[in-house]
Structure formats: C-alpha cells, structure tokens
Structure 1
Amino acid sequence: MTTPRNLVVLGAGTAGTMIVNKLRRRLPREDWSITVVDKDDVHDYQPGYLFIPFGLNTPDQIRRTKRPFIHDGVDLVMGEIERVDTSSHEVRLEGGRTLPYDQLVIATGTTPRPDQTEGTLGPQWHCEVGEFYTYEGALALRDRLDRFTGGRLVVHITELPIKCPVAPLEFTFLADDFLRQRGLRERTELVFVTPLDGAFTKPVASRTLGKLLEDKDIHVEPDFMVERIDQDRKVLVSYDEREVAYDQLVTVPLNMGADFVAASGLGDELNYVPVDKHTFLATGYDDVFALGDASNIPTSKAGSVAHFSVDVFVDNFVEHVAGRPMTHSFDGHANCFVESGHGKALLLDFNYDTEPLTGTFPLPKVGPMRLLAESRANHLGKLAFRHVYWNALLPGRPLGLPAEMSMSGKKPA
C-alpha cells in the first residue's frame, strides 16, 4: 500500500477553505492527505466589516468558527506559521512542529499594517483615527460614528493594493447616507483622500464613481502619498508636504501579505507571492501555488477573484499532480458590488484586459443586476451574498457562475 501524498494549504480563509473542500471531492483519499493550517478557529465574512459602523450588520452575522466549514476529510491544524522550507518541503510552525508537503498552496491573504505608516498607532488609534478593515476596528468605528455630531470626516487610502479596493468608496457613500439620515450632512465636510489620480484604478469605473462623489458633494484629494499621520495636529501629511486636516479620520492602512512569506524567501516587497497570473504556480517552483489575496496577480484583492480563481485552480491542480499540462487559464475575472447609499449599489465586472462595461449580470438583458449603474437590485444582491457565502461558497458548492468573464449582454460604457 502506497503512502498518500501531502497537500498542505496555508490559510483557512475564503480561498483556502474553498480549495480544501473542492479538492477533497476530487482527490482520492488513498492518494492524498489534505491539511489546512490557520492561526485560530475564527472565520469572518470580511465584506460585512463595511456595514458594522453604520449598524447595518451585527457582529454575529459575520463571525463563525472555521471547523464546521471544513470538509470532514481535511485535517485542520491551528498554529502560527514560522516559515516554509522549500528545500526540505516542510512548513514549520511556531513551537517546532513541521508539516511535510508534496504540494503547497499559500492562501494566507493580506492584512492591514498600520505599523508601517508613521503616527498611525498613536493614542487616537481606533478613536479619532479609525479603520474598518478589521473586526475590532469596525466595532470601534461604529461607536465613534454613533457619537459623531459633525466636522471634517476624512476617508483615506494609504497605498494600493488593498483588500476590496472599492470598500473605501463604499464607506464614503454610506457615510454620506448615514449623515443625511441623522441630519448631520450639512454640518459635515466629507473628504476622500487617495494615492490614485481618480476614484478607482479602472478609468471607466473611475469616471462613473468620480461623478457620484461630485454629485454627493464629497471632495476628492487625489495623488496623495501619505508620509505620516500627525495626531497632535490631527492632519495627514504627504511626501510632497500637503496636509489634510481631520476631526474623524477613517484610514485604510497599507496592506501586506504574511510575514512568513518574506521569512521563506517567497515574497515581493509587500510579502505577496509572485505567481503565473493564469495558473497561480509560484515563480520558480513546481510544487508551490498561491491563491486569493496572498498572490501578486494584477487584479482586485476581492472575494470574487478568490471564487473564480479557485474554480480554475482546482481543475488545473488535478491535471498538474497527474503529470499533465495545466489546460485552464484564469483571465483575472472580478466583479464587485459598490454600495452607493440610499439602498442602491453599482456592480463592476472586469478582468485583466477588459474595463468594466455596461449591461446586465449574470444574464443578458434579464439581469437582474445592472452593470456600472446604480440599482436597488444590486444592493439587494450584495446583502443576499452573505447567505450565499456561508451556505454555498465556503462549502465549495457550485454557484452556476462561470469563472471566465462573459461578454454576453455587455457593451462599452
């Protein structure tokens, strides 16, 4: 009887959980042992962080334990990852435990690093300087906004890439709606500060979203590369010495991949793993892949990208470990709901080569979602996705959406 080969997946977030659940169905148990490693048993529905500050999600709706979502045939190991030794094909955990692998998938995501920008982690952190990219930060910001009575509210992006690049815009639009409902909008100056030259990375979407910001009387401060936050004077300071004052700052810190990626010699300057953008195979390796937010693929770090890329990866992986060429290619497909306030949202659908287009999604003419335009259906679709996430996406059930971007029913904006 032969010894099973070892597949080790690092990270039991969205991508990692989908990978082990889908591959457990595809790989014979007598041939493959599957292990997934994470630091704790907490799984958050991260898109829900956006809604917590406005009281639109409750904490119990976005936080679950990981174990119920992991297939019975997968070993879930809790521990901090120290490093990957690619020469000995081992993952080393803190405390000395090692996990041998025949194939390794890195899916440890990306995390906000406020420690990387001078002055962020001062006495105002999670008070006058807030954030919503962590569970704790979203809860603290909820309490701050509940007591907010007006002033200068600044939403700020430190640098890209970040998880869900439309989320800062969504927060700004929802803040505008929130303040209007409370009769505070005329007493509040809303400012959106970005390192980009416009509202978003894709020019077509940037024009549409920029017009929304303008219509809502939200000032945009573009090309702002922050050097430090001066909490004593309550100002953002850029490298070109511009300053933006705030009464309440909502910052999106620099995002970085996991530290063990750097310690293992597998990452770029932001600890993201360089990979082939179509197959996710790590550069220079035939037994290491990186998926989800952990890789350096040039598209949004978003849940939809994890979903579509995992569908492509699973088919390729089965071919790869059988010694056959990988015949499937990821096209960079991403779609993102953009909450715009007042019970409406936009929907963007794009890939590596194609800008967001107008039209309908997922069905031509029928929709029911509209692309690059505000609608109530888009908003309801975003709200409904939380149920889909817990009950279909994570367990690895098919959603009926093709991984490849379809041009059917779309036209240039």
Structure 2
Amino acid sequence: MRRLLVVGAGTAGTMVVNKLRHRLAPDQWLISVVEPSDTHFYQPGYLFLPFGAYTPEQVTRPTRPLITDGVDLVYGEVDRVAADRNRVLLTDGRELPYDYLVIATGVTPRPDQTPGMLDGGQWRERIFDFYTYDGALALARALDRFEGGRLVVHITDVPIKCPVAPLEFAFLADAYFRRRGIRDRVELVYATPLPGAFTKPVASARLGSMLDDRKIAVEADFLAERIDGTTLVSYDEREIPFDLLVTVPLNMGADYVARSGLGNELNLVPVDRHTMLAKGHDDIFALGDANDIPTSKAGSVAHFAVEVFIDNFLEYAAGRPMTGSFDGHANCFVESGDGRALLIDFNYDTEPLPGSYPVPTLGPFRLLDEAAVNHWGKLAFRWMYWHVLLPGRPIPLPAHMSMAGKNIPTPQE
C-alpha cells in the first residue's frame, strides 16, 4: 500500500485529496490529510464581512463533510517533517509515514513581525486586519463605530494572499462611507510597498486611476518598519498618522516548514514553478500559498495549479516524467464598490490586459473594466467554491491562460 499524505485541508489540500481519491485505486493507495481545524473557512468572504455583506455562516463549513469518502482525515498540529525518514511528526507525538507528501498549509498573517503592531496596545482597538475570520468580524464592529478621521489601508510587505484584496477593501470602504453619508469626514489613504497600485504596469495604471477618482491618497514605496502609537513609520522615516489602521501584516508560511528545513525566510517552500516539486526533494510537493512560485497567492492559482498537478502526479507516481507545466495562471475579480467589479487574468509572462473572458467578445466578464456582471461573478463564486471547486468537480475553464479575447494596448507616443 502506497501512502499519499497531504498537510492542510484548505483550498488546495481539499481539492488534491478529493480529486486524487477518484483517480488512485483504493486498494493500492492510502490517502490522508492532516488538518488542525474542524472548520473550513471561505477566505475570499473575509473581504465582505466588515461591511455586513456576508454573514459568518456564509463563510464557514464543517471540515469533515468536505473531504470525500475514502480519505483519512487526521486532526492534529504538525511539529515538523522528518524528510530523511519520510515521516510527518505531530505535536501530540504521533508519526505519519508517507511515500509522497503534499504541503498545502498556506500562509498566515504575522502581526508579531512588525514592532508596535501587537505590542503597542492598539491591536483590535485602532489596528485591525481582515485576513483572518476573527479580524474581519472585529473590523466590522470598528467600522460601524467609525464616524470620521483618517483610515489607512496598509500592506506590510509582499507576497500576500490575494494581492488585490487591500485595493478592494479601499474601494468598498469608499462606497460604504458614501452610503453612510460620512465620506466627506473620512480621509482614505492606501499605503503600499509597491511603486504603484499593482505589480503589473497596465493593471497598476488602471487601478491607480480608480484610487484617484475616489480621492484615495496613495503612499507608494512605503515599507513599514514599525508602528509608534497611532503612526506608521517606514524604513526611510516617512510617517503616516492614522485614526483607524486596516493592515495586511507580513504573510508567512507555517512555522513547522522552518523547523523542517524546507522553507525560505518566509517559510515558503521553494519549488519548481511548473511542477510544484520541492527543490532538493523527489517526494515532496507544495501547492497553493505554501510555495514560492512568482505569481499571486490566490484561490484561482491554487485551482489552476492543482489541475496541472493531478495529471503530473499520476505520471510521476507511475515512474514517468511529468509532462504538465503550470504557467502561473491567475484570475481575480476586483470589487470596486457600488455593485461593480473588474476582472484580471494573467500568468508568469503576461500581465493583466483589457478584453473579455472567457469567450472573446461575448465574455460575459470584462477584463480591466468595471461592470456589474463581474460583481455578480464574484458573488456566484462562493456557491461554486462549496459545491464544485472543493469537491473536485470539473470547471469548464482551462488551467492555462489564453490570449483569446485580450487586447494588447498600443504604446503611447
């Protein structure tokens, strides 16, 4: 009996075990997944919790029913991976053997890595995050009480989960305060370590103009070194005072990755960016946010990468070369407020471009263009996530990015 062990039953881990259970013979393969939580969280929904657009019940489900029959769900915390012995050691002393290991424990916000973020007495008082379930709910209460002042949306450093989410929060905050009739009493500031609103020029220009249109000030190239009371201080000593800080703390992989000697300085597992095979190991893969591939840490990346990984793994386990090659495909809906959103679609080599998706001309979704249909697409994805994506059912979208429907802008003279 061969053993496939997956660590983490989030988006990537759940898709892997559910898909492979139907592709690997049960009498030949034992598939197990290790997960500490009995609750699965729909993390894209965290963005909507602070504004009351989603309820807690809409973003949570019990873990066990999401895992297909025939997969052994092991509740526990990982202490470390003993790669030299093909064992995963749990904190309670249990040891789980494997022939192949998939690391899919994602990244988590680490406010403890920025001086003054946790130890200054402001956490969940004036400083909030929305990248955690508890943080998003606490922020909802803070926004409800907020009657005016300077609200700063801040990214500590990259990479982060869903890199467009801070932009979305800024856009939704603008719309939220307009609905409450207090927008003129709120100064919105967007502080980012990037030189612009996004990492790619065309999308950055488009998103940057949207911030300008909404009178959201941008503090670019702002790399926060510490927080002094109610002031963000950068490494070059620039200061941004705030009345309410909505921050994205440093995102890091799981600590056990570091203890196992498998990660980089952010506890991300270095992998071949096309196959997800861990560098220096022939029996360990890392999927989803847990690896160091140079693309967005987003659910769509996990989905597309898993699609490529499944066929690759079947070839690899059969002793054949992996023929699939992941291209870094990502697409993300970007909520812009007032029932509209953009869509961006890109990969390792091609930046987000205007056009239509997934069908040329017909769409229905519009690329880099605010439209109600994009907003409804984002909301509909929650149903798709629970009922199609996680169960491992096929989605009629290609794993690799297509140039069909995309328009390459003409360079300006």
TM-score by shorter chain over 0.5: yes
Q: Partner residue of 1:338? A: 334
Aligned counterpart for 2:160 among listed residues 159, 162, 170: 162
Q: Is the 8 A contact 1:49 1:135 kept in 2?
A: yes
**Number of the residue aligned with 1:40:** 37
* Residue type at the aligned position of 1:198: G
For the residues of structure 1 that align with 2:122 and 2:354, how far apart are their CA atoms?
Answer: 42
If the length of structure 2 is used for normalisation, what is the TM-score? Answer: 0.98
Indicate the SS of the match to 1:411: coil
Q: Which residue of 2 is the match for residue 8 of structure 1?
A: 5
The one-character-per-residue Cα deviations of 1:127-186 (angstroms, maximum 9, x if unpaired) are: 210110000000000000001101001000000000000000000000000000111111
Is 1:317 equivalent to 2:313 in the alignment?
A: yes
Contact persistence 1:127–1:141 (CA under 8 A) = no
Q: 1:258 aligns with which of 254, 260, 269?
A: 254
Unpaired segments ≥5 residues, structure 1: none
What amino acid is aligned across from residue 166 of structure 2 in structure 1? P
- Amino acid corresponding to residue 143 of structure 2 in structure 1: L
Question: Which residue is 1:125 aligned to?
Answer: 123
The counterpart of 1:182, out of the listed 180, 189, 193, is 180
- 1:83 offset after TM fit, Å? 0.3
The equivalent of 1:56 in structure 2 is 53
Q: Counterpart of 2:75 in structure 1: which amino acid? A: M
Q: Distance in 1 between matches of 2:299 and 2:354?
A: 21
Q: Superposition pairs for residues 301-380 of structure 1, below 5 Å?
A: 301-380=297-376
Partner of 1:217: 215
Distance in 1, matches of 2:394 and 2:124, equals: 39
TM-aligned CA deviation for residue 202 of structure 1: 1.2
**Aligned match for 1:236, one of 232, 243, 250:** 232
Whether the 8 Å CA contact 1:129–1:250 is kept in 2: the answer is: yes
Aligned counterparts of 2:221 and 2:361: Cα–Cα separation in 1: 38
Q: Could you give the per-residue CA deviations for residues 243-269 of structure 1, whole angstroms, max 9, x where no partner exists?
A: 000001100000000000000000000
User: Which of 263, 275, 279 is the matching residue for 2:275?
Assistant: 279
Normalised by the length of structure 1, the TM-score is 0.98
Report SS of the residue matched to 2:22: helix
Aligned partner of 2:205 in structure 1 is: 207
Q: Aligned equivalents of 1:74 and 1:272: distance in 2? A: 26
Q: Please identify runs of 4+ aligned residues in structure 1 that moved more than 3 A.
A: none
Identity over the aligned pairs, expressed in percent?
68
Provide the secondary structure at the position in 2 that maps to 1:26: coil
Q: What does residue 65 of structure 2 align with?
A: 68
- Once residues 362 and 37 of structure 1 are traced to their aligned partners in structure 2, the CA distance between those partners, rounded to angstroms, is 35
CA shift for structure 1 position 357 = 1.2
Tell me the distance in 1 between the aligned counterparts of 2:354 and 2:223.
Answer: 32
SS at match of 1:152: strand
> 1:48 is matched by which residue type in structure 2?
G
Structure 1 partner of 2:169: 171
Answer yes or no: is the 8 Å Cα contact 1:10–1:16 preserved in 2.
Answer: yes
Give a deviation string over 1:173-225, Cα, whole Å, max 9, x none.
00000000111111110000000110011111100000000011000001111
Residue matched to 1:386: 382
Q: Distance in 1 between matches of 2:312 and 2:66?
A: 23
Q: 1:100 aligns with which of 92, 97, 102?
A: 97
Instruction: Identify the match of residue 110 of structure 2 among 108, 113, 118.
Output: 113
* Alignment correspondent of 1:403: 399
Kindly provide the CA deviation profile for residues 53-92 of structure 1, in whole angstroms up to 9, marking residues without a partner as x: 0010100000111111101110000101000001100000
Query: 2:241, 2:4 → 1: CA distance?
Result: 50
Deviation at 1:412, TM superposition (A): 1.4
Alignment partners' CA distance in 1, 2:152 and 2:228: 14
Aligned to 2:19: 22
Q: Using the alignment, how far apart are the partners of 1:113 and 1:8 within structure 2?
A: 27
RMSD, aligned α-carbons: 0.6
CA distance in 1, matches of 2:256, 2:202: 37
Q: State the shift of 1:410 in Å.
A: 1.1
Match of 1:269 among 265, 268, 272: 265
Q: Deviations over 1:330-349 (max 9, x none)?
A: 00000011001111000000
Residue number among 78, 81, 90 corresponding to 2:78 in the alignment: 81
Matched residues in 2 for 1:80 and 1:143: separation?
31
Secondary structure in 2 matching 1:141: helix
**1:246 corresponds to which residue?**
242
Give me the whole-angstrom Cα distance separating, in 2, the residues matched to 1:114 and 1:409: 41
- Deviation of residue 40 (structure 1)? 1.4
Asked if the contact 1:130–1:140 (Cα under 8 Å) also holds between the matched residues in 2, the reply is: yes
1:154 aligned counterpart, secondary structure: strand
